[in-house]
Every structure is written in structure tokens, then in C-alpha cells.
Amino acid sequence: MYRKSGESAEFEVEQPYNILSETLSADYLNSLYDCLCSHNISDFDGVIVACGTDTLQYVCSFLSYKLGLCGVPVVVVSANYPLPDKRSNGLNNFCAAVDFIASGEG
């Protein structure tokens, strides 16, 4: 869908973990932070973090404390249904995050 919109964007993808929400712990959140810190975030226009809705509030809170005013927008996205489900808004949410970062308003 995003490619159909005519926009050109480059992505660097990292997956610090892939777990069920009930196993989220501080160790996993710290590995997310370590992954982000392994890059010079200021070299990017923005950061998109995808996570499940069950842990969204914890990830957002953690990143707001750890990253503070890092100088680039950090957007956390989620979906109401798994991506393969036709009712899912995950792809639309991801596209909105890319558009927001590309707008330079963040």
C-alpha cells in the first residue's frame, strides 16, 4: 500500500525481539533501547517502533523516559487486528507514521 502512494522512503529494519505481550519485561525494553542506541538516531528522519496493543502504553512510556527530546520523531504504531486480517489498520497506521515523519512536522 505504501509503495502505491508514490512516495519514496528508505527503511532500515531491526527486530530486537519478537515475543508475546505477556512475556514483556524490562530486559526486553532495554534491548529495544540498546538497539536504538546502536544507531546514530540523528542520522535518520525518524524512528518507527511497531508493537502490540497490549504493551503499547509500556513501550511508549519507556521510550519517552529513555529518549526524551532526542531530536527526531519516534512514532510507535500498533494495529487493532493482526496484519493478515483484512480488518487490520496496521498498514494504515504504519503509512501514517511514515507520512508524519516525512512531513518534517514532528
pLDDT digits (tens, 9 = 90+) for 9-32: 889 999 999 999 999 999 999 999
Helix, strand, coil fractions of the chain, as percent rounded to 5? 45, 10, 50
Residue ranges, the chain, pLDDT below 50: 1-3, 6
Please check whether residue 38 is in contact with residue 11, taking contact to mean a CB–CB distance below 8 angstroms.
no
Domain boundaries, the chain: 44-106
Of 83, 100, 74, 98, nearest to 11 by C-alpha is: 98
DSSP run (H or E) holding 105: none
Instruction: Identify the pLDDT of residue 7.
Output: 64
Instruction: Identify the pLDDT of residue 10.
Output: 87
Of 53, 86, 66, 69, nearest to 26 by C-alpha is: 66
